[in-house]
Amino acid sequence: MKPLYIAFIWNQHQPFYQDTVKKEYIMPWVRLHATKDYYQMAAILRHYPQIHQTFNLTPSLLKQLEDYLQGADDYYLRVMKPVAELTQADKRFLLQHYFDIHWERVIRLWPRYDQLLAKQGHRKEPASVDAALSHFTAQDYLDLQVWFNLVWIDPEVRENDPQLRALQQKGRYFTEEDKQLVLQKQWEIIRQVIPVHKELAAKGQIELITTPYYHPIMPLIIDTRIALRSTPGLQLPDTFSYPEDAAEQLMRAISQFHHYFGSFPQGVWPPEQAVSPETLLLFAEYGFTWTVSDEDILAHSLQIEFYRDSFGHVLNADELYRPYKVKMGNREIAILFRDHHLSDRIGFVYHQMPLDHAVDDLLHRFHKIREAVSNCEGPHLVTLALDGENAWEWYPNDKNEFLHKLYSRLSQEKLLQTVTVSEFLRKYPPERQLQHLHSGSWVDHSMTRWIGSQSKNELWQMLLAAREMLEEIRGKVTPEQLLNAKENLLIAEGSDYTWWVDSMPYYLAAPFEALFRKHLINVYRSCGRNVPLNLQQPIIQPQYGEPVWTEDPLAGPTAMVQREGSAALNKQET
């Protein structure tokens, strides 16, 4: 019996959170996911040398990790000052944001942390925490500072570190020295993220790939009209078409990859798995040998449907579980398509099951796929591609119990073999060719998550105006001014700004929308040009009943706590 090959591709990405003027990060998630996920997701593989996997470390993530190691600050760190120095605004920020982790799976495990949550009133953003301020003592705030940063360190790392394990056992009455110890441990872990990936890549156990630098939706940067291919009639802004920017995002990623890892990446992850023929041509022109997208893109490319039975097993498995080649003139690139259903089971389903049952389920599904393709010309490759960080705090004991069980079982399987993508392609180059490639992303096989709504289109109009201004001032400003302006524009091309606007609640989207405008303001100021008035006003407003941002969302911890307003005030603001 021939084996079934399995490619795990973990996408490690964070938006670019830095206010480039203040050199401060408005969110802490690069730092915290580094200590909880980015190190441990790779380090756990040291126990399982037979498990081969692929990791995408996005350039915007690596750039921010490097900034932290050079002393960068984030707003959540700014309230880690000695308790005696905390202002009322700092205390409000602590009560608002230092419970930002899964309450049931994490906070409930630690009686003191759970007690602090109860004293806070179990209030989620954006509910007011002012009523709790008078109930918290200086020791409460200190214990809260320690617990939040402690539980954002991977539980297996904590358990294996005697000092961190002692803090867990101590539980309360932490000191300022205890707090500094936790921060010191965070920095020690951050310093290990890149080395552990280099170590495993040198052994051939993992493959490292990259993404266009600031995570833009490549088809839309090339030409926003490409969105019409999957959604005819979509209301679009004026055309943004700068394929040279797409190329620059790609070149910068290649350069950074070589800086950190000393080699050329064979694979490239399209941000949000958004592809088009023009995008793949660009990938091929810059030397990439493979890329990846979603099964819905393959279905629309082949003009078929993937039929699943009532258990979710693919009935026409021979088409899905294999790489394809795409030819454009004398260029060729391989493309894989992930099993959307299986990837989502890891991301959203298995944490709801007893973990032994979850692992049994996944292995059973692998074997059902192997049986389904046993009489087809092979070999076959199952691709699971998903975020490598966001799911785990929903799991008992974070990622560790599930992944240890899964990797241990997979290591014993003779008919299931995990591979890096490139090692599979070197041995089994794709034989089937796609005659047509659908233009779309993993979200509904379209681009509408990033363009087409009123506010998203306004962001594109702002971006277009700034980009046209850069063309107009070429030769009229110094090279340094132009480079600084272009850097801010490339940041603003990132996908995360348009992802949040009109797709997420106002209180979550407002900081991203403000940061987007800040980057474009920096484009104009870098060139000594007047800032357009529309960049100085928010384009999104709270919905009826939502709390109101009464200050600049980028002003720091004070402003990140919203003010509750009456229904009438909220309606007026809307």
**Predicted pLDDT at 559:** 60
Distance of alpha carbon 259 from alpha carbon 85, whole angstroms: 41
Distance of alpha carbon 299 from alpha carbon 341, whole angstroms: 14
3 state DSSP class of 231: coil
pLDDT in tens, 472-521: 999 999 999 999 999 999 999 999 999 999 988 888 899 999 999 999 99
| Residue 560 CA to its chain's centroid (Å) | 21
Distance of alpha carbon 196 from alpha carbon 185, whole angstroms: 16
Exposed/middle/buried for 253, CB within 10 Å: 0-12, 13-18, 19+? buried
The secondary structure of 15-59 as a DSSP string is ---EETTTTEES--HHHHHIIIIIHHHHHGGGG-TT--EEEEE-H
What percent of the chain is modeled with pLDDT above 70? 97
Average pLDDT over every residue of 128-155? 95
State yes or no: pLDDT of 571 exceeds 60: no
**Predicted pLDDT at 572:** 29
User: Please, what are the domains in the chain?
Assistant: 454-540 (1.20.1430)
**Predicted pLDDT at 21:** 83
Distance of alpha carbon 457 from alpha carbon 217, whole angstroms: 14
H or E segment and range at residue 2: none
**Predicted pLDDT at 125:** 63
Which range is least confidently modeled, 341-350, 371-380, 565-574?
Answer: 565-574
State yes or no: pLDDT of 158 exceeds 50: yes
In 3D space, the residue among 27, 16, 13 whose CA is nearest the CA of residue 73 turns out to be 27
Return the ∠ at Cα 35 (arms to 32 and 39), rounded to 5°: 130
State yes or no: pLDDT of 563 exceeds 70: no
**Predicted pLDDT at 562:** 57
State yes or no: pLDDT of 565 exceeds 50: no
**Predicted pLDDT at 549:** 75
**Predicted pLDDT at 428:** 98
